[in-house]
Chain A
Amino acid sequence: MKRLLQWTAVVAGLAILGGLLAPAPALAAKEIKIGAIYPLTGGAAAAGRELRAGAELAAQLCNEARSDIDMTMAKAAGIQSMGGAKITLIFKDHEGNPTLGADLAKKLILDDKVDGILGCYHSSVTKTVSAVCEQYGVPMINGSSTSPGLTERGFKWFWRTTPHDRWFTKDLFDFLVGLSEGKVRGVKAVPREDINVIASACENSEWGSYVSKVIQEMAAEYDFKLRKSLLYSDKSPDLSSEVRSLRASKASVLLFASYTSDAILMVKTLKTQKVQPRIIWGQDAGFDKPEFRSTLGDAIEGILTRSVFLPQVVQIKPVAGQVNSLYKAKTGNDLGGASARAFTGLQTWIHVLEMAGSSEPAAVQKAANAIEIPGQELVVPWAGVKFANTGSEMGQNIMGSGLIGQYQKGADGQMGVEIVYPFDVASAEMIYPFPQW
């Protein structure tokens, strides 16, 4: 019997050993592996689907020769400087969990031997993943995390294409000042005291709490009165006490930084509690999702959202229209802030690889620091992509810019988003003040 036990132990030991000794996958030639870490399940799963579709579309345009798209990367199949090498995306799901993200990054780098990383949407996850990349010297390009802190860490292997929240928040205050000076299309100059009292509610992870901090700083700088700044957990199932607190503050401008499900809940609760501010502004993310629109219907008319991409961009940028129609055929939705930036993130990867001519990290690093993608290549309305490689914002794209859009019902009865800021590209007259619920 004792014998049997010993044998069982030996067999069990061998089984464990066998399981752990999985062979490392062999590196295939002419294939560039990019690990894309996105929230494919969990509260931000809807955003994850968009991000994934956006990145996949960019990879597809690079790998196939598409002469109908006015983009350099679409003209020929694969990366030309590397003999037409194809881009392969390996998607991983971080569920919005920073530790899981770091684990996945390690796995992608060491086991899957990826050439670079793209991701991760949640700023908190981008933070841990970029730290892993930095340690291993693997390049990472981030397309959609906007916490300003990410590029203030002096990392040498991290580049961010999207503008960050300090810029966006500055846009907002410039917009508010413009409103009081009568610069907004369709609105007469609003007395400053009508919009002077503001209140904010932001989700409390890396991104939202940084936004909250920036709003506090900017409000002081622009001399607005910030009556209340709340932080709430995006997992919080009920926001009624937060909303009552906002109502009690009697603020006329409400600012939010919310992910998807909490943004929907917030607006619903505002409506049932009949909170009636003059302006409601969302810091992209949840306020920019197709779900936000489809769930809340007409209730959102008049809500402002900052974004980097709005469907109206199609009218000023033909190339955005071409990509948008492909995206629509693929997913049924228009390009949004998340998908357009994921697309741009991977597009930047492709340009960097094209310039580097090799997937060696050092070559990629050099190319990324020197890259300059002109604005007409991009779907987003930026002047281009060019990374800062000195100073306090290492790896930040200095040519990005933001938009502020407003949900408005079009002539066809469909809820759309019109550009209201920058003032010179405004696509419609602004609805002011925010209509009765």
Chain B
Amino acid sequence: MEALKNAFDFSDQPRLDLTIAGALALFLLIFPLLPVSAFALATMIQFFIFSLYGMGWNTIGGYGGQVDLGKAQYVGIGAYTTAVLLIRWDIPFWFSMPIGVLLAVSWSFIIGYPLFRLSGHYFAIATIATSLVLKDLFEVWDFVGAARGLEISPIAYQPPDYLRLIFKEDIYYYYVLFAFFLVGILYLNWFRKSRLGFQLRAIKDNEDVARSLGINVHWAKIKTYAIATGYVSVVGSFHACYIKAIEPEDTMSLDISILIALMAMLGGAGSLWGPIIGAGILIPLKSYLKEWLGGMAGLAGMDLILYAVIIMLISAKEPRGVWGIVERWRRRKRS
């Protein structure tokens, strides 16, 4: 009960932020009812997906300061669990999703234990390595379709199937994801004020001091990593039902890991709204840039060049991202 109250308690946030957040939430609620194109709706779904990935990343990467570039492996575990269970044993989404989270979290404990003996760049590279190893294994594992992947047949189920999350129109997916999105924010809000959240920030500031305060640094990191994993795995499961055809190259590619970290860092790692802002900027930019430049095959990569420049500017000028700029600006206002 206490936890629930904490989750809904945003009182430490400035009033203005909450007003804007509320207005935007209202906008997101009515968005699909407006006469928008299918493309815009698909873009918004991507926005939700990556916001959630980013929120998960933010727990370990933002509050914990451990740059993780291997999140895609958990997207894969979630997506594959849901797809395999549905295709082979007809187990619906709402049951396979928790199983997926369980598997992903177990895997995160297995590799997290050795992984968190590393830090900084070495940790970042090691997360890439684990993710690529898992992808290579999935690419030859016949039980999960190897490199061919798995397909949830669109004719095997009668849409709308709320239990299996098989719909024809994107609008259904939109609202399911919107609900996840809100829950994700609430959980993160609880997390940052929880005991683990405080421990983590102490670790980020100075590991030695944190250790002298009696915090089990290694264990705190592993636990947080598991939470991050949970977020990503849930969305991975959703992804399987939404895309309906998954393959290792698609769900577990390094690009996804990179994009997740990128968005969270761009928006502002270690802040509540950062990952959402990051996804809100990058996803529409990515989709629409691709749409406008798509006809001009000669301009491939333009969108990523733009990202890269943004990232480099951010890292040189304000490592805390867009949210860092907002906060700095605010502080200057106040003084």
- Which residue of A20, A103, A128, A231 is within 8 Å of B244 (Cβ)? A128
**B24-38 interface with A by 8 A CB criterion:** 24, 27, 31, 34-38
User: Which residue of B20, B155, B297, B333 is within 8 Å of A93 (Cβ)?
Assistant: B297
Is there contact, CB below 8 Å, between B155 and A110? no
Q: Is A19 a contact partner of B243 (Cβ separation < 8 A)?
A: no
Q: What residue of chain B has the Cβ atom nearest to residue A10's Cβ?
A: B23
B322 to chain A, nearest CB (A): 13
Selecting from B52-60, B94-102, B139-147, B200-208, the interface stretch reads B139-147
**Do the beta carbons of A21 and B245 come within 8 Å of each other?**
no
Q: Across the interface, do B250 and A204 meet the contact criterion of CB distance under 8 Å?
A: no
Contacts of A41 in B (CB 8 A): 297, 300
Minimum C-beta distance from A372 to chain B (A): 26
Chain A residue total in the interface (Cβ 8 A)? 46
Cβ A107 vs Cβ B38 within 8 A: yes
Question: Per-residue CB proximity of A141-179 to B under 8 Å, as 1/0?
Answer: 000000000000111100000000000000000000000
Q: Please give, as numbers and ranges, the residues of chain A lying within 8 Å of B44 by CB-CB distance.
A: 20
Beta-carbon contact of B146 and A106 below 8 Å: no
The reply on A392 being an interface residue by CB < 8 A is: no
Query: When chains A and B are docked, how far (Å) is the Cα of A127 from the Cα of B140?
Result: 20
CA distance A231 to B136 in the complex (A): 12
Task: Report which of B31, B38, B245, B284 forms a contact with A128, defined as CB distance below 8 A.
Answer: B245
State A324–B22 Cα separation when bound (angstroms). 63
Partner of B139, one of A1, A111, A204: A204
Q: How far is B38's CA from A156's CA once the two chains are assembled, in angstroms?
A: 24
A residues near B19, Cβ cutoff 8 Å? 6
A437 at interface by CB-CB < 8 Å: no
Query: What residue in chain A is nearest B27 (Cβ atoms)?
Result: A13
Residues on the B chain within 8 Å of A128, using CB: 151, 243-245
Total number of B residues with any Cβ neighbor in A under 8 Å: 42
Nearest B residue to A25 via CB reads B37
Say if the beta carbon of A241 comes within 8 Å of chain B: no
Complex CA–CA separation, A342 to B263 (angstroms): 40
Check A24–B300 contact: CB distance below 8 A. no
Majority secondary structure, A binding face: helix
Cβ of A316 under 8 Å from chain B: no
Q: Is B305 an interface residue (CB 8 A)?
A: no
* Residue B306, interface by CB 8 Å: no
CB-defined contacts of B42 to chain A, threshold 8 Å:
103, 106-107
Q: Mark A76-108 against chain B: 1 for CB-CB distance below 8 A, else 0.
A: 000000000000000011000111001100110
A7–B39 Cα distance when bound, in Å, is 28
B16 within 8 A of A: yes
Q: How many A-B residue pairs have CB under 8 A?
A: 111
A51 to chain B minimum Cβ distance, whole angstroms, is 14
Against B, the Cβ 8 Å flags (1 = close, 0 = not) of A206-235 are 100110000000000000000000010100
In the complex, which residue of chain B has the Cβ closest to the Cβ of A135?
B154
Tell me the minimal C-beta distance from B38 to chain A in angstroms: 3
Contacts A9-B23, A93-B297, A204-B146 given; does A154 touch B155 at CB 8 Å:
yes
Q: Is the C-beta of A358 less than 8 angstroms from some C-beta in chain B? A: no
Could you mark each residue 243-267 of chain B with 1 if its beta carbon is under 8 Å from any beta carbon of chain A, else 0?
A: 1110101100000000000000000
Contact residues in A for B250 (Cβ distance below 8 Å): 97-99
Q: How far is the CA of A153 from the CA of B152 in the complex (A)?
A: 11
Complex partner residue of B37 from A2, A16, A24, A134, CB under 8 angstroms: A24
Asked whether B16 lies within 8 Å of A124 as measured between CB atoms, the reply is no
Hey, which chain A residues are within 8 Å of B247, CB to CB? 98, 124, 205
Pick the contact of A9: B20, B146, B149 (CB < 8 A). Answer: B20
Q: Which B residues are in CB contact (< 8 Å) with A99?
A: 243, 245, 250
Instruction: Confirm or deny: A131 has a beta carbon within 8 angstroms of a beta carbon on chain B.
Output: yes
A103-128 interface code vs B (CB 8 A; 1 in, 0 out): 10011011100000000000010011
The listed residue (B31, B146, B294) touching A209 by CB distance below 8 A is: B146
Structural contact, B35 and A21, CB atoms closer than 8 A = yes
B147-A127 in contact (CB<8A)? no
B146 nearest in chain A by CB position: A209
Which 4 residue pairs across A and B have the least CB separation, nearest first? Answer: A110-B38, A204-B147, A20-B40, A128-B245
Q: Which residues of B contact A (CB under 8 A)?
A: 16, 19-20, 23-24, 27, 31, 34-40, 42-44, 139-140, 146-149, 151, 153-155, 159, 168, 170, 243-245, 247, 249-250, 284, 288, 294, 297, 300, 333
24 residue pairs A–B, Cβ–Cβ below 8 Å = A9-B23, A13-B24, A16-B284, A17-B27, A17-B34, A20-B40, A21-B35, A21-B37, A21-B40, A22-B37, A24-B37, A93-B294, A93-B297, A97-B250, A98-B247, A110-B38, A131-B151, A131-B245, A132-B154, A135-B159, A205-B147, A205-B249, A206-B149, A210-B148
Give 5 A-B pairs besides A20-B43, A106-B42 with Cβ atoms closer than 8 angstroms. A21-B37, A92-B294, A93-B297, A135-B154, A205-B147
